């Protein structure tokens, strides 16, 4: 069968042969056993809903075996035979170009070069799933190949509920992930519902089909590290940045440190992912001996090298050893997946990687005790360094939250609303006031042709637009403009593409609209193929997350999610091609609500109309909320937006004289 024929058949009527387990692939860890015997039967019944009754007797023992071995039913047998990657849009079957673009994005999320656990349909973060099983993938791709621009595909946590009549201006796909009743949003609730096959953790851009490989987080981390050094008035050259994690998102850190121009040490316990990052060139060197690491780092600092070093071992050992050897750390952070601390997101010190995985699956209570013991050691070592002048920030991975729950010394001695911890979230002190409040966030695009020449052309178009805008930009945003012009000029040289021909930069609403309009004009003239617009959910408006995206909101509304919900609703009727809303993300299930979109530009007047309407709302919704929280940068930005658009009328806050209070 051709690729197109395989897509069109969906779930095959004749079952393919079972596939061998491939140990060389980076697989998800075994999930803990959480279902009762009755619930296991229910999980099997739920999985078998996708198959004709004649197949049930054959599949029951196989799915039972998967559930017992891996804690989930992935339906490995149904993995497609074709290679998984983002093909040029012209190679996809279908009646809707918009639907073909979504198929392209889904396959990119599952590309072996992009996905963290491709056989388990997990893109990043240890549990950020595109689908729960391979039947859902096959059925979704079939629906997308059949749909017209008068239909909308409805996705319930990876399950394609079906195609419904709509209209050309409606989204082609509407995605929800993990949207459970609030009282059932604890980590074990997710484990149970996911094992039953009724809900999934979509992370942020995994379950919304908008992940573009590590490039997205490379850019955000580069901006964070650059601004982190600016905050402490240090030149990055000859300075040391220490962090941990080399997985789907965290793997971007050493690359970002190199672009920022410092010495980066990043610890990772998984040898497989460390090897992958080294082979990709995202890290320069791998060191396995802690004493060798000390010698190498001292030499690098002395020579002011720009180098990234992976330490294959536990990050706690690095912090403790550098304290003993008086290696000064300028910037410190952590990007282990502590949103998922009991299922592979964080590993205890003093226990081998394999032993920890065995303990995680078979002795989960003991594993949790060891993780919390390590978190206390981790925090204690950081405290010793910050007493010597290190600037440490929480990188939004729930490090401080989980450390506090473990009883670690991370709480502020004199807490105020929003400053409960000793250390700030990077959004509180860096990204929030410097970027998000002014409307700058991670705007991204994918060239649907798959042609690198199209990406080069779009880079130039974006750079030209930004340079022209910068001539008349106010002083308050000149630095943001300059950083992104520098980024886009170096994008080709830094070889950031993994998977689809994609790019990211930080832009405000004006920049996003002008760049998108310039793309649409180039498409109309036949200079480039279709372009798929999107953004990270980690943005100005898309996410309500009290310890990350909205951590610099101090009016008491950090724990509300009105902004994210309004964002996705507003995007859906203003022209997005697809929209998504998720419970969970980089900081954990039950800790965040986040939403995103995708938009296909095809060079038409309809595209021009939609992009102006949707992109303006998508950014200014968040600026409005931030301005109402009395954030000075956001007040400046929303006043500027109202001057440009007379139909925009935003309620502005009045400030109170503190002496009256």
- Residues 6 or more apart from 477 whose CB is under 8 A from it? 438, 440, 508
Residue 352 to residue 51: CA distance in whole angstroms: 41
Q: 3-class DSSP state for residue 371?
A: helix
R_g (Cα) of the chain, nearest Å: 24
Judged on CB neighbours under 10 Å (0-12, 13-18, 19+), 333 is buried
Residue 336 to residue 315: CA distance in whole angstroms: 10
**Which of 448, 467, 452, 485 minimizes the C-alpha distance to 607?**
448
Helices marked H in 18-55 — which ranges?
37-48
The strand pair at 502-507 and 441-447 is best described as: antiparallel
Q: Which residue do the tokens 């056993």 mark?
A: 33
Contact of 266 with 308, CB cutoff 8 Å: yes
Helices marked H in 471-580 — which ranges?
478-490, 509-524, 562-574
- Distance, C-alpha 97 to centroid of its chain: 26
Q: Which residue do the tokens 């930004």 mark?
A: 466
Query: What value, to the nearest 5°, has the Cα angle with vertex 535 and ends 534 and 541?
Result: 120
Q: Which residues participate in the annotated binding site?
A: 125-126, 203, 268, 395, 586
Q: How many CB atoms lie within 10 A of CB 412?
A: 12
Q: Which residues participate in the annotated binding site for NAD(+)?
A: 125-126, 203, 268, 395, 586
Residue 309 to residue 300: CA distance in whole angstroms: 10
Helices marked H in 242-310 — which ranges?
252-260, 271-280, 290-302
Residue 597 to residue 272: CA distance in whole angstroms: 32
Contact of 290 with 318, CB cutoff 8 Å: yes
Q: 3-class DSSP state for residue 267?
A: strand
Tokens of 507: 């832009």
Helices marked H in 416-546 — which ranges?
426, 432-434, 452-470, 478-490, 509-524
**Which of 13, 134, 131 minimizes the C-alpha distance to 62?**
134
Residue 241 to residue 220: CA distance in whole angstroms: 15
- Residues 6 or more apart from 658 whose CB is under 8 A from it? none
Q: 3-class DSSP state for residue 481?
A: helix
Contact of 412 with 400, CB cutoff 8 Å: no
Q: Enter the DSSP assignment of 541.
A: S
Q: How many CA atoms lie within 13 A of 26 on its CB side?
A: 25
């Amino acid at each position: 069968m051709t690729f197109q024929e395989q897509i069109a058949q969906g779930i095959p009527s004749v079952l393919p042969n079972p596939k061998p387990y491939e140990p060389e692939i980076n697989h998800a860890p075994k999930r803990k056993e959480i279902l009762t015997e009755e619930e296991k039967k229910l999980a099997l019944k739920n999985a078998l809903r996708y198959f004709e009754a004649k197949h049930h007797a054959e599949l029951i023992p196989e799915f039972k075996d998967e559930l017992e071995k891996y804690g989930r039913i992935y339906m490995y047998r149904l993995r497609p035979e074709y290679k998984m990657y983002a093909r040029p849009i012209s190679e996809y079957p279908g009646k809707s170009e918009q639907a073909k673009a979504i198929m392209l994005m889904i396959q990119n999320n599952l590309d072996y070069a992009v996905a963290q656990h491709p056989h388990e349909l997990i893109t990043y973060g240890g549990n950020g799933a595109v689908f729960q099983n391979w039947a859902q993938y096959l059925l979704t791709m079939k629906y997308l190949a059949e749909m017209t621009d008068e239909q909308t595909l409805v996705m319930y946590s990876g399950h394609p509920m079906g195609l419904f009549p709509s209209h050309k201006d409606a989204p082609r796909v509407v995605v929800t992930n993990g949207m459970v009743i609030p009282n059932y949003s604890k980590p074990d609730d997710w484990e149970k519902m996911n094992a039953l096959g009724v809900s999934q953790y979509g992370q942020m851009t995994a379950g919304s089909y908008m992940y573009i490989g590590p490039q997205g987080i490379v850019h955000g981390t580069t901006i964070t590290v650059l601004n982190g050094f600016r905050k402490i008035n240090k030149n990055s050259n000859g300075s040391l940045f220490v962090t941990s994690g080399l997985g789907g998102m965290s793997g971007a850190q050493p690359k970002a440190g190199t672009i920022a121009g410092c010495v980066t040490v990043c610890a990772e316990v998984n040898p497989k992912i460390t090897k992958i990052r080294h082979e990709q060139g995202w890290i320069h060197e791998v060191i396995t001996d802690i004493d060798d690491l000390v010698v190498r780092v001292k030499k690098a600092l002395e020579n002011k090298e720009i180098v990234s070093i992976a330490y294959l071992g536990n990050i706690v050992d690095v912090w403790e050893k550098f304290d003993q050897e008086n290696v000064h750390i300028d910037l410190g952070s952590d990007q282990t997946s502590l949103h998922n601390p009991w299922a592979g997101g964080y590993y205890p010190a003093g226990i081998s990687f394999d032993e920890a995985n065995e303990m995680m699956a078979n002795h989960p209570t003991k594993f949790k005790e060891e993780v919390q013991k390590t978190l206390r050691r981790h925090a204690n070592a950081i405290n010793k360094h910050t007493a010597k002048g290190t600037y440490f920030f929480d990188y939004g991975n729930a490090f401080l939250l989980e450390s506090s729950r473990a009883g670690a010394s991370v709480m502020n001695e004199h807490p105020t609303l929003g400053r409960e911890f000793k250390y700030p979230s990077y959004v509180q002190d860096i990204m929030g006031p410097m970027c998000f409040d002014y409307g700058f966030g991670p705007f991204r695009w994918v060239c649907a042709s798959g042609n690198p020449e199209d990406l080069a052309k779009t880079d130039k178009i974006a750079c030209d637009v930004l340079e022209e805008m910068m001539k008349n930009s106010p002083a308050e945003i000149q630095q943001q403009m300059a950083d992104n012009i520098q980024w886009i000029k170096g994008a080709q040289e830094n070889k950031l593409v993994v998977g689809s021909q994609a790019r990211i930069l930080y832009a405000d609403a004006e920049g996003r609209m002008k760049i998108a309009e310039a793309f649409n004009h180039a498409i109309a003239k036949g200079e480039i193929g279709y372009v798929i617009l999107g953004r990270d959910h980690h943005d100005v408006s898309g996410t309500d997350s009290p310890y990350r995206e909205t951590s610099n909101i101090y009016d008491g509304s950090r724990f509300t999610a009105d902004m994210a919900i309004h964002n996705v609703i507003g995007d859906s009727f203003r022209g997005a091609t697809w929209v998504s809303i998720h419970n969970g993300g980089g900081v954990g299930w039950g800790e965040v609500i986040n939403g995103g979109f995708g938009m296909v530009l095809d060079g038409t007047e309809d595209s021009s109309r939609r992009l102006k309407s949707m992109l303006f709302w998508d950014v200014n919704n968040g600026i409005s909320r931030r301005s109402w929280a009395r954030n000075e940068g956001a007040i400046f930005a929303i006043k500027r937006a109202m001057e440009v658009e007379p139909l925009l009328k935003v309620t502005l806050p009045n400030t109170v004289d503190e002496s009256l209070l």
